[in-house]
Chain A
Amino acid sequence: MSWLEWLVALLAVAGSLFVLLGSFALVKLPDFYTRLHGPTKATTLGLGALVLASMVYFNFVKGELSLQQLLIALFLFITAPITAHMLIKAALHLKLKTSAPTSGKQNADL
Chain B
Amino acid sequence: MKSLKKWWPTPVRSLFLFLVWLLLNNSVEFFHLFFGLVLAWLIPQLIHKFRLIQPGMKNPGAALRYGFMVLWDIVVANMQVVKLVVGPNKNLKPAFVKIPLDLTDNLSITILASTVSLTPGTVSAEVLPLDVGVDEPRYLLVHVLDLADEAELIQQVKQRYEAPLKEIF
Contact = CB atoms under 8 A, between A and B. Distances in A.
B96 to A, nearest CB: 4
Interface stretch (B6-14, B56-64, B123-131): B123-131
Interface in A77-105: 77-78, 80-82, 84-85, 88-89, 92, 98-99, 101-105
Interface in A41-93: 41-42, 44-45, 48, 66-68, 70-71, 77-78, 80-82, 84-85, 88-89, 92
Interface residues of B, number: 37
B85 A28 contact: yes
A70 B22 CA distance: 12
A78 B145 CA distance: 22
A27 B23 CA distance: 36
Given A21-B85, A41-B81, A107-B141, A81 B113 contact: yes
Interface stretch (B42-50, B72-80, B158-166): B72-80
Interface string B95-133: 111100000000000000111011101011110000000
A108 B123 CA distance: 13
A16 interface: no
A24 B86 CA distance: 9
Interface string A11-45: 00000001001101100111101101110111011
20 contacts: A18-B82, A21-B86, A25-B85, A30-B92, A37-B145, A70-B23, A71-B20, A71-B24, A77-B118, A80-B117, A80-B118, A81-B118, A84-B117, A99-B89, A101-B93, A103-B94, A104-B97, A104-B147, A105-B96, A108-B141
Given A42-B82, A80-B117, 16 more contacts: A18-B78, A18-B82, A21-B86, A28-B89, A30-B89, A34-B92, A41-B77, A41-B81, A41-B121, A70-B23, A81-B117, A84-B117, A88-B124, A98-B94, A107-B141, A108-B96
